[in-house]
Structure formats: structure tokens, C-alpha cells
Structure 1
Amino acid sequence: MKKIVSSQNSYIKDLIKLQEKSRERKKKGLFLVEGRREISLVLQSDYVIESVLVLDTVLQNNDTLLEELPKSVQLINVSKEVYQKIAYRDSTEGMIAVVKVKEFSLASLQLTHKNPLIMVMEGIEKPGNIGAMLRTADAANVDAVIIANPKTDIYNPNIIRSSVGCVFTNQIAVDTSENVIDFLIANNIHIYSATLQNSNAYYQEDYTQASAIVVGTEATGLTEIWREKASQNINIPMQGAIDSMNVSVACAIVVFEAKRQRKFIK
């Protein structure tokens, strides 16, 4: 097994760039995943792991997750100093995987259910909100998550962290709003756009049919095209002093109303 003890190692420097810069992830076609739970979810998905960096303590404890790694995965023993240089989080289980990126095309989505439920987020900037919505999507077992007009790449380490690995448990596609709308209409999926303009209370709508729940940024909301092309605009009635809530919370409310109507059965 290869061992690296210096953070000045050229391979380690490259991994640090992957952690810090979106353009490096796109250029190399690689990204980092740290933590035992997250790596176990990668193994259950169709992602390909290139290598795994581990601390001595992981090797000494004979972690069973290492036994589940494909034989093609290179194991690299690193020093604590090296690990801390790469790690995004303060406390992980001493394990970081180098994983190959996937293409998030609309054409790759497999909508196998008659009446799919899809979550769409347009132009969301904060990685924490994206991660939270991916957790909601997994919890609700939606059929797909589509990110329209993305402001950050899906392999941002904060998205992976805040999603607790749900980047790997959801079907995801990324494209422009125009292309996403065309895709939804072509597949006879009703569009419910969360917006204050010309909208009904969310609980008045029927989500048992093929449905896409669409949310935008907290600052500016959805772009005009989503309001124009919606089957119905929807809102969450506010009962306090403010007129909006966190986008991930709002999204969860509507998605689970859709699941309630479907009685949590596909």
C-alpha cells in the first residue's frame, strides 16, 4: 500500500485543489467525498471510486468498509497532517475517497413510475440549501431532482456534507430552465411553481398526477418563464410578520403534502 506523509506531495496538492476549486473538479473529472457514511452511499450508487485515503487508525481498526471497496480502488495510507490538509470537515472518520464525476443530463433520468414526483430548484446559490433539499428528496423518495440554471456545481464539498451523501441517493439532472420546462412538458408532468404572483395555496392542488414542485431563490424567487409555463402557481400562506421562509423548508412542506396525497405509496 502506498503511503504519503508530506502535504507537499504533488498528488496531495492536486487533491487540495479539487476540494477548493470547481474548475479543478470539472477539469479533472474528479471530486472528493469524506466520511464513512458518505463513502458507503457512493458504494451503493453507480459512481466509480478511484482511490481512498485512510489514516493509520482506520487500518488498525480493520474497518469493514475497506473490505467492500472494489479491487480497482487504490488504497493510500496518509499521515494525520496530510489528511487535515485535504479534509473539508473538522471531524470525519479518517477516510476520504476520490470519485469520478457523472454527467447530470435530462436524458439520463429514468422515470419508471406512471405519475412521477420531481423536485426542481432554480438558481439556488447556497450549497447548504441545495444539500438540505437533496436530503428532503431522499426522505420523500422523489423520482428525480432537477437543478435549473445552477449557480454552483453539485460536487461542492458543502453540498455533499449538508446533503449527508444524498447527492448519491437521488437521480439528478442539471440544465437550463428552458430545457427543463421542455422536458417536463414533453413528459406530461404538471408544473407547480412556488411564487406569490397569481397563485393558489399549495394545499388546494392535486399532486397525485405526474408533478414537478419548482422553487427558486429566497431573494428573487423564480424567473418569469416558470410563472408563465406553470400548470399552477402555488404559495404557502404566511401567518406571521414576514412573507417568506427558507427555500429548503418551503420545498419540504410542498413535497410532503404531495406525498401525503399519494399516501406515501408510488
Structure 2
Amino acid sequence: MPTTLITSTQNQFIRQLTQLKDKSRERRKTELFLIEGEREISLAIKGHYEIVTILFFPELFSEEKLSELSTKQISVIEISKEVYQKLAYRDTTEGVLAVAKSKSHSITNLKFNTKNPLILVAEAPEKPGNIGAILRTADAANADAVIIANPKTDLYNPNIIRSSVGCVFTNQIATGSTSEIIDFLKENKINIYCAALQASVNYHTQDFTKPTAMVVGTEATGLSNEWLESSTQNIIIPMQGEIDSMNVSVAAGILIFEAKRQRNFL
């Protein structure tokens, strides 16, 4: 099946792929990114991402498995162990990577299949691992969309792909400024529930069966005033220990599954 073999880490194409792995600027400029792992590539295909090239190390990934991922339209390249180790991001090895085209994540592209959407919004999350965990939470709850306000990193950061276990490809995701997102939510008559300490009520006292956006901020600074001023109601998760905050992905999970409970998990 493969028509090309690359054994040198100094190969120009491999050097370009290394840039895609390491640099957000390169991913934005080329509108390409790297995916590592069979499950992640399969989910990207399921999410209708265009796969341009598949690279595999045959000692770890067989041609039989390769045939399940590739089509005639996809370029396939066999690579050496040295090249694979140069491109691989994870410590665990699976022996397969793909180059894919990125998608637009403009908020204007959001489409809902229900008149009663449940949306998870995160403002300015900094850690790729937290973003990945939020995406996994949204996937588990079958949320209608995840919106990242004022993103600090691009969605195709290898650590986001890894920590989301590929959910970044199957969730409906949008990004935008806080102002753009608030305008979008209000235009679509979606209630805004902000997780905050100020002027808040216990989260389980609210009705989340109507169109709902759960909004969470960073553990360090919380949500900006713009969100708090636009909130339908600020909500709080009662804390019984010594600290007044929890990991953002954990908080998001508690809130969104309360909404699912109220909606009888439909």
C-alpha cells in the first residue's frame, strides 16, 4: 500500500511536520495539524475531518490496520523508528500518525438539532489538559456544543487532542470573544448560568430544562465581569472543605450532569 518510505529525521517533509507538532503559529498558517493514535484518527474521520497523509511505523502498526484507516485519496508513508520517535508526542507508542486539515470554529457555524440546547462555555482556559477534560465531559453528557471564549491555545494542540482522547473531533466546538459569545447566546434566547462566588445561588435550585449555557472560568481568576453582568443567574457549587474552588473540568461536569438529570438524561 505505501508508495513512499522516509527514514531520515532531516527530511524536509518531516521537518515541516515537526513544526506542526510544536508550533501553534505553523498550524494556523498551514491550516494543518498532526493526529497521533488509531482511535484519535478514527474519531477525526468520524468527525468529517479531511485526512491528507497517514504515516506509520510497520513494527508497531500493521498494514492490515492501516487499510482500515486509509483510502485511495489519502497519501500513505512508511517511516522509520527514528522518524516516528521524532514526530510522536506520547510516551506510549501506537505507530501511526496522520496529517489533517483544520476546520473553522467560528461561532456563526454552530447549528443545533434541538430547540432546547445544552451548551458548555469555558472562558480563557489556559491548560490544554483542562480543555481536553472539558471536551470529554461534554462528550459524556452529549452536550450540544462546547464554546471556548478568549482561547489561549489552538484546539489542535497535541496535548488537547491527547487529553480529549479524540473528543475534540466529535464535539461541536466554537471559539470567539466573550462579547461575541454573549451576543450569540442572547440572540438565540439561551439562558446563561455563570459559575461564580458573587451574587450566586446553589446550582441545583435552578431550572436547566430550558435552553442553557453553563459558563465556567479559570480557577485562578474566575469569570470576567462581562459574563457576570450578562448572567441569567450566577450559580455556585457548595464547598465543604477549606478551599473555595475546584478544577474547572470537575465543576463543569457537576453542572452539566445536573442539567442532564433534570432533563431525565434524554
The two structures share one fold, judged by TM-score above 0.5: yes
Tell me, in whole angstroms, the C-alpha distance in 1 between the residues paired with 2:142 and 2:93.
27
**1:185 matched to 2:186:** yes
The AA in structure 2 aligned to 1:25 is R
Q: How far off is 1:93 after superposition? A: 1.2
Deviation by residue 1:129-180 (Cα, 9 ceiling, x = unmatched): 0000000000000000000001111111000000000001100000000000
Match of 2:28 in 1: 26
Q: Distance in 2 between matches of 1:24 and 1:59?
A: 28
**Aligned CA-pair RMSD:** 1.0
1:44 — aligned with what? 46
- Residue 158 of structure 1 corresponds to 159
Q: Give the letter for the 2:239 counterpart.
A: M
Aligned length: 264
Residues 31 and 99 in structure 1, CA contact (< 8 A), matched pair in contact too: yes
Secondary structure at the counterpart of residue 167 of structure 2: coil
For normalisation by structure 2, the TM-score amounts to: 0.97
How far apart are the structure 1 equivalents of 2:113 and 2:87? 39
Equivalent residues in 2 for 1:60-209, closer than 5 Å: 60=62, 62-63=64-65, 65-209=66-210
Distance 1:135 1:229 in 2: 27
Q: Which structure 1 segments of 5+ residues have no match? A: none
Which one-letter code corresponds to 2:204 in the other structure? Y
Alpha-carbon distance, 1:246 to partner:
0.6
TM-score by length of 1: 0.97
1:106 & 1:84 partners in 2: Cα distance? 37
Q: CA deviation at 1:58?
A: 5.0
> Which of 7, 10, 16 pairs up with 1:8?
10
> Helix, strand or coil for the counterpart of 2:169?
coil
Q: 1:12-31 deviations in whole A, cap 9, x for unaligned? A: 00000100000000111100
Q: Kindly provide the amino acid, as one letter, of the partner of residue 142 in structure 2.
A: N
Using the alignment, how far apart are the partners of 2:120 and 2:138 within structure 1? 7
Q: In structure 2, the residue corresponding to 1:62 is in which secondary structure?
A: helix
Whole-angstrom distance in 2 between the partners of 1:194 and 1:92: 39
Q: What SS is found at the alignment partner of 1:97?
A: strand
3-state SS of 1:52 partner: strand
Using the TM superposition, give the Cα deviation of residue 71 of structure 1 relative to its aligned residue in structure 2, in angstroms: 1.7
